[in-house]
Structure 1
Amino acid sequence: MTIHGNEQGKAASQIVAEARKAVPEITVAQAKEELEQGQAGLLLDVREPSEWEQGHIPGAVLAPRGMLEWYADPTTPYAKPELTTKKDAHIIVACASGGRSLLAAQTLQSMGYTDVVSMAGGFKEWSNKAFPVEEEAGER
């Protein structure tokens, strides 16, 4: 069985490229402006807790991608009200560099969230532009 060419299915890059066709992307500058002007109902960070603790965007809600479906579904015991009550709100999804946020935004769309965008460049680009970052561990 040869897997290096991924003859068995789609490559991760192909899955992300398909999500990019379905999910609107905004720049970190656009995200910052929307957050400052109150246009975003929620900034959702889908990175892992260890990434979050190293720094995150002020006001973001942590929902690691591996738990996203459970956090976004109000019928589960893991539901996050700060997400489930925002089905029609403008949601900006962020990750480290923009791939996971595309996939997470596509998932939210499939769950009925109506105004979801991915922040291209992710937290790395946000940090590179020296935009505000919180670094307090344990703040979730």
Structure 2
Amino acid sequence: MLNPPFRPALGHNDLIKDALERVRELMPWDVRDRLERQAAVILLDVREPAEFAAVHMPGAISVPRGVLEQACDWDYADTVPALAAGREREIVVICRSGNRSVFAADVMQRMGFTQVFSLKTGVRGWNDFDQPLVNEAGDTVDADTAERLLASATLRPEQRRPAAKA
């Protein structure tokens, strides 16, 4: 068995940069304009279920990143028919800040989706642009509450990069 050629390890930011060579991004105002022009746009939120329940864009569907591939294809327990049948539909992929959505959009393009975009700045940018957000019950979430719900978590000491050894 041949060993694959050595490739240096890539970090999270390197992977995003690589995916952005293939993925098209839209700013929040671009998404707002698309939604005003056509109701057929699919808003696909790839955050975790608890994140989605707390605050999301009205009309978005929740498909956590971990089940995306199955949701986009037929014959799986996680299949979402609108996605599986929507390879030609315009789809805006959403996450909290615009990183997970880039990865998800990249995978969807590889799966044959032709009109998939990532929402640059994510739900946080949507909120900063003063666009509507709702919670799981469909109640409006005001911008200040949304900002608190969308804030980055504080890193614990063990999650930080170890200090370089001298």
What's the TM-score once normalised by structure 1's chain length?
0.88
Larger radius of gyration: 2
Structure 2 gap segments, 5+ residues each:
1-6, 139-166
**Stretch moving more, 98-107 or 36-45:** 36-45
* 1:34–1:40 contact (8 Å) kept in structure 2: no
After superposition, the C-alpha distances for 1:21-64 in whole angstroms (9 at most, x for unaligned) are 10011101101110121165311000111111111001111111
The residue that corresponds to 2:84 in the other structure is 84
SS of the residue corresponding to residue 136 of structure 2 reads: coil
Distance in 2 between residues matched to 1:39 and 1:120, nearest whole Å:
20
Match of 2:110, as an amino acid?
S
Q: Kindly, what percent of the aligned residue pairs are identical?
A: 36
Matching of residues 1-140 of structure 1 within 5 Å: 9-38=9-38, 40-137=40-137
The residue that corresponds to 2:161 in the other structure is none
The residue that corresponds to 2:150 in the other structure is none
Displacement of 1:136 = 2.7
Displacement of 1:73 = 1.1
Instruction: Choose between structure 1 and 2 for higher RCO, CA contacts under 8 A separated by at least 6 residues.
Output: 1
Distance in 2 between residues matched to 1:108 and 1:137, nearest whole Å:
29
After superposition, the C-alpha distances for 1:58-105 in whole angstroms (9 at most, x for unaligned) are 111111101101111113222101211211011110100000000000
**Stretch moving more, 75-84 or 15-24:** 75-84
Q: List structure 1 runs of 4+ shifted beyond 6 angstroms.
A: none
Displacement of 1:109 = 0.5
**Stretch moving more, 74-83 or 21-30:** 74-83
Give the number of aligned pairs.
Answer: 133
Match of 2:111, as an amino acid?
M
CA RMSD of aligned residues (A): 1.9
SS of the residue corresponding to residue 22 of structure 1 reads: coil
What's the TM-score once normalised by structure 2's chain length?
0.75
